[in-house]
Copies of this chain bind each other. A is one copy, B any other.
Amino acid sequence: MKTMGLRDLWLVNPRQFPDAQADAMASGAVDVLARARVCSSLDDALAGTVLAVATTSRYRDLPPGVLSPRDAAARLAAEATAYPVALVFGSETFGLSTEEVSRCQNVVNIPADPDYASLNLAAAVQVMAYEVRLAAGTGPTLPVPEFDPATLEDIERLFQALDQALQETGFLDPRNPGRLMQRLRRLFSRTRLEKEEVAILRGILKSIAK
C-alpha cells in the first residue's frame, strides 16, 4: 500500500499488534505500521467515512452494488478528495463476513480465473491500491528520457541518402526500384525517429559510401 501512496492502515481486532514479524516483513514501510490504528470493530474503523468498499471473491446472496476494481477505484478516488473513504479487506483465511460486507456501500470483485480465483490478501491489496493510484491520477513514477524528435526534413534527407546509398551498393536498381523505398519508409514511419538516430543512420550511410 505504501508503494501506491496509501498511508492510513486501520486494523480491526488484529491477533497481535504491534508484531515483530510484521515489522520485519514491512521492510521500508514500517512507518505505515507504526501509524496504523487499531479498532475493536469494523464500525469503529468506518466511523466518519462516507464510502466503504468491501473486497470479496465470494458469492453473496444480497450484496451491495458490485463494482469492478476500476469503477470502485474511480469512486473512492473521487470521494476521497473531500471525505474519508475506506477499502475493506477480510482476513487471509476467512475473508469478510456477510455482516461486515453489509456495512459497506459497495462490493468489489477482482476478476480472476474461475478455476483458481482466490487471490491472497497481499495480491488483492496490491491490485486495489494500484487501481486507486491510477484513479487518483498521480501518473507514472519513472522519468522518461527526452530526446529531440527528428523533423520531417531530417527524415527526408535521410531517405534521400538511403536511396543513394542503396543505388551505390547495387541493392536498389533505379530503373526497377519496385517498392523497396516505400517499405523502408513504412518501417521507419512507425518508429518516430529522433534527431540523434537520424544522425547515426546518416553516419552509417556515409560510411557505406566510403
List residues of A whose CB falls within 8 A of some B CB.
Answer: 2-5, 28-29, 56-63, 66, 68-70, 109-114, 116-119, 122-123, 126-127, 130, 133-134, 138-145
Contact among B60, B61, B113, B142 with A141 in the assembled complex (CB-CB below 8 Å): B113
Say yes or no: A112 contacts B66, CB within 8 Å.
no
Q: Which residues of B contact A126 (CB under 8 A)?
A: 119, 123, 126-127
Say yes or no: A2 contacts B113, CB within 8 Å.
yes
A193–B63 Cα gap in the complex (Å)?
14
Say yes or no: A56 contacts B145, CB within 8 Å.
no
**Chain A binding surface, main DSSP class:** loop
Say yes or no: A145 contacts B111, CB within 8 Å.
no
Say yes or no: B142 contacts A3, CB within 8 Å.
no
Given A111-B134, A122-B122, A127-B130, A56–B142 Cβ distance below 8 Å?
yes
Say yes or no: A142 contacts B66, CB within 8 Å.
yes
Say yes or no: A66 contacts B144, CB within 8 Å.
yes
